[in-house]
Structure 1
Amino acid sequence: MLKFLLAAVWISAATLASVLYSFQMSQAAKDPNSAPAAFFGGLDYIRTPVISVPVATTGGVGGYFLARLAYTVEPKKLKALSVPAEMLLVDELHDYLYGNPQIDFSDRAALDLDAFREGIRDGINARVGDTLVHEVLIEQIDYLSKSEIRDNIIRRRINPTE
């Protein structure tokens, strides 16, 4: 009889503890001040088309920087924008690339992708005046020099069936 009474008390205590824990976790999830984790919901993403930016050198255009990026943004702030978000993001990418002429796209090993991402994100957030973009994700990034573009054009003319 004593074992049965101890088992009943144990089951009641375990049930009460799990109900209290569940209640606390549900209250923490409803707290508007707690931000959701960046990659686990709560954020939308905007994917840009392939962006082609001419890279100017002293003698003219040295090549083209090609990129396809995705941005994680808060949906409420995205809806509050008065300008289309894609236009803002592409414009800021152009501003960043032309504002940092020290970036050498021809040397792929020297390109610091983390600094590139942070620079674009910080530029957009400073321009908007709030934290709109949380992460900049790189889907594709390439640099084509003028000589590579010419070689591709010549190959297409020689072998038009391929």
Structure 2
Amino acid sequence: MMRLLFIGLWVCLVTLLASYGGAYWMAGSSGGKDEQPYLAGLEYRRLEPINVPMIIDGSVRGYVIAKLVFTADAETLRKLPIEPQIFVTNAAFHEIYTDGRVEFGKLSKYNLAEMLSNIRTKVNEKLNGEVINEILVDGINYIDKSEIRALVDRSGAAPKKTPAASGEKATH
């Protein structure tokens, strides 16, 4: 019985010493995870589509839908404390909303180069440096409000609730 107790204590002691030695050895080493150099170059980041309402005479006439991509230096993006996507989205929304030209449901020609340059300039000002290299257009479209209603009507919008349909008793 005593011999079994000493063997158990011996196993516990060896296990503790081995764990301590392993932890001590790992703490003294570089951790096995060297800092890999980050792949340098341009990085492309795609933004979520932006839906910008076009308001004419106090009412919404339609929406400009824009899909944008921006490029930036990968190392610079890695060092930023905040993701620049929100700044690009905000600047794009502002640029399209304030300077967008819609004439009775028709998307007039934008000077895209000027618009994209303005977005890039505004974002770089907010980020205090040359972070964004280029803004690219993945797609831009205009949908008139009447087209949206027609699409909803064709797709079979949810039927209006009637008292009988909702399980309530109809009283006459």
TM-score (norm 2): 0.60
- Asked if the contact 2:71–2:132 (Cα under 8 Å) also holds between the matched residues in 1, the reply is yes
CA distance in 1, matches of 2:113, 2:141: 16
- Aligned partner letter, 1:120: I
Give me the whole-angstrom Cα distance separating, in 2, the residues matched to 1:153 and 1:127: 39
CA distances 1:7-30 after superposition (whole Å, capped 9, x unpaired): xxxxxxxxxxxxxxxxxxxxxxxx
Is the Cα contact below 8 Å between 1:72 and 1:134 reproduced in 2?
yes
Give me the whole-angstrom Cα distance separating, in 1, the residues matched to 2:54 and 2:134.
25
- How much has 1:109 moved relative to structure 2? 4.6
Cα RMSD (Å): 2.0
1:42-101: CA deviation from partner (whole Å, max 9, x where unpaired): 11011012111222222221211111110010112212222222222212212222343x
Q: Output the amino acid matched with 2:42.
A: L
Equivalent-residue separation in structure 1 for 2:77 and 2:57 (angstroms)? 39
CA distance in 2, matches of 1:51, 1:110: 18
Given the alignment, which residue of 101, 105, 128 partners 1:104?
Answer: 101
Looking at structure 1, the residues matched to 89 and 108 of structure 2 have their Cα atoms a distance apart, in angstroms, of: 24
Q: Where does residue 120 of structure 1 map in the other structure?
A: 119
Distance 1:144 1:128 in 2: 32
Identity among equivalent pairs (%)? 27
Structure 1: stretches of 5+ with no match in the other structure = 1-40
Q: 1:14: which partner in 2?
A: none
Corresponding letter in the other structure for 1:66: I
Equivalent residue of 1:157, what SS? coil
**Which range moved further: 107-116 or 48-57?**
107-116
Asked whether the equivalents of residues 44 and 69 of structure 2 are also in contact (C-alpha less than 8 Å), the reply is yes
Question: In structure 1, what is the equivalent of residue 91 of structure 2?
Answer: 92
User: Residues of 2 paired with 1:61 and 1:82: CA distance?
Assistant: 37
- Residue-pair matches, total: 116
Q: Distance in 1 between matches of 2:57 and 2:155?
A: 29
Unpaired stretches in structure 2, ≥5 consecutive residues: 1-39, 158-172
Who is 1:49 aligned against? 48
Rate the CA distance shift 1:58–1:82 in 2: closer, same or farther, 3 A.
farther
Q: For residues 146 and 87 of structure 1, what CA distance do their matches in structure 2 show?
A: 27
Could you tell me which residue of structure 2 aligns to residue 62 of structure 1? Answer: 61
Structure having the higher helix fraction is: 1
Counterpart of 1:77 in structure 2: which amino acid? T
Q: Which amino acid aligns with 2:148?
A: I
Q: Is the 8 A contact 1:124 1:133 kept in 2?
A: yes
